[in-house]
Amino acid sequence: MSTEQIQYIRWGDYKSKDTNNPDSLELEVTTLEQTESEFTTNIQCRQLILGSWEDRILPLKSHESNNSSLLKMWNELVKRKRIIVGSKLVIRTHLGISKYGRVIRKFQVEV
């Protein structure tokens, strides 16, 4: 299946602002190969949506953003072999405030 047919996970769809009640994405790793698009660094995966696993593209970092926390976490977990092909993981995310007082997306990856 070509990547043009696979939907991107859109972070804008996840709107939680509550650290104690973040949005959760259940994912299965299908490849460790990162790809670049015009706007983002990505990984292809499968996401559990309404009880069904669907192919998705997970943006790890936007080229326009300084927020590289998800990409750094992902790379560190791959390096430590905590993320391998077939791994199931949960990404929890919410909108928080940066040290500069701006809204920033925060992530937690649970393998």
pLDDT tens digits, residue range 8-58?
A: 999 999 999 999 999 999 999 999 999 999 999 999 999 999 999 999 999
- The predicted-structure confidence for 79-108, as pLDDT tens digits, reads as follows 999 999 999 999 999 999 999 999 999 999
- Tokens standing for 102? 């701006």
Residues 1 and 55: beta-carbon distance below 8 Å = yes
C-beta separation of 48 from 26 below 8 A? yes
What is the model's pLDDT at position 81?
98
What is the Cα Rg of the chain in Å? Answer: 14
The pLDDT confidence band at residue 3, using thresholds 50, 70 and 90, is low
pTM: 0.93
Q: Can you give the pLDDT at residue 1?
A: 47
